[in-house]
Amino acid sequence: QVQLVESGGGLVQPGGSLRLSCAASGSIFSANAMGWYRQAPGKQRELVAAVTSGGSTNYADSVKGRFTISRDNAKNMVYLQMNRVKPEDTAVYYCHADILAFYTPQIARYWGQGTQVTVSS
């Protein structure tokens, strides 16, 4: 089975930096688009950033200029570098990946279990 595991979340002060990592593992033939969603208390889940296998990126307006998404295709990993964080960045961050597995001919979206990011002084 395909698994996604996030790491790097935690408590950070406003203006600080944090780097999230997500590793996809299992019976992966190829990983296509990968990215991050987040969900804050009382709010709907929103796309933070995404990156295609070719390196094309997309960011939410609220994080443009502060966050950077990147990936390592050889390792099936995706990262989110969070700089100049704000209290409103506080949320559970979920990694996602569109993966073609060996056991199916259809690309499916897989999700990590989430990692908590808390921005507070």
Dihedral sign for Cα atoms in the order 81, 36, 54, 60: negative
**What number of residues does the chain have?**
121
* Residues 19-29 pLDDT 10s: 999 999 999 99
Model confidence at 77, pLDDT cuts 50, 70, 90, reads very high
| Backbone angles phi and psi of 28, in degrees to 5 | -95, 125
Amino acid at site 37: Y
Half-sphere exposure of 22 (CA within 13 A, CB side): 31
Q: Which two tokens stand for residue 90?
A: 């506080």
Which pLDDT band, with edges at 50, 70 and 90, does 1 fall under? Answer: confident
Q: What is the pLDDT of residues 49-66, one digit of tens each?
A: 999 999 999 999 999 999
Q: In this structure, which amino acid lies at residue 39?
A: Q
pLDDT of residue 43: 95
| Residue 49 near residue 59 (C-beta atoms within 8 A) | yes
DSSP code at position 88: G
The answer, yes or no, to whether residue 5 has pLDDT greater than 90, is yes
Between CA 80 and CA 71 the distance in angstroms is 9
Mean pLDDT (the chain) is 96
